[in-house]
C-alpha cells in the first residue's frame, strides 16, 4: 500500500523560510503541487519564479502528485 504522504524537499531560501529542508505533508487526492505550496504558506514564491520537480523531473505547478511522491521546491537563483 502506498504511503498517504508526500515528501517535500525545499532548497535555498525556501528551506530557510520553512525551517527545514525535508518535510512531509498529508496527501490530498486530486490536489496540485500549487495547492501544497499554498498549504506550506510559501505561495509568495509562485510569483517569484518558483520551479518545481516531481520525482526528480521538472514539472508544472498544476501537476497532480500521487501518494509517496517527492516534490522539490526550487526557488530562483539570484546572481551576484
Tens digit of each residue's pLDDT, the chain (80 residues): 456 999 999 999 999 999 999 999 999 999 999 999 999 999 999 999 999 999 999 999 999 999 999 999 999 986 55
pTM of the prediction? 0.91
Number of Cβ within 10 Å of residue 34's Cβ equals 16
Instruction: Count the Cβ atoms, other than its own, within 10 Å of residue 55.
Output: 13
> Is there a contact between 71 and 53 (Cβ–Cβ < 8 Å)?
yes
Q: What is the DSSP letter of 4?
A: S
Instruction: Report the alpha-carbon distance of residue 2 to residue 44 in Å, rounded.
Output: 31
CB 23 within 8 A of CB 73: no
Strand partners, 23: 8
- Structural domains in the chain, CATH included, are 5-74 (3.10.20.30)
Amino acid at each position: 500500500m502506498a504511503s498517504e504522504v508526500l515528501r517535500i524537499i525545499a532548497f535555498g531560501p525556501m528551506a530557510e523560510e520553512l525551517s527545514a529542508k525535508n518535510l512531509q505533508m498529508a496527501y490530498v487526492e486530486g490536489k496540485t503541487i500549487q495547492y501544497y505550496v499554498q498549504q506550506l504558506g510559501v505561495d509568495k514564491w509562485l510569483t517569484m519564479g518558483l520551479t518545481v520537480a516531481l520525482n526528480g523531473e521538472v514539472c508544472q505547478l498544476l501537476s497532480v502528485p500521487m501518494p509517496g511522491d517527492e516534490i522539490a521546491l526550487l526557488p530562483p537563483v539570484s546572481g551576484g
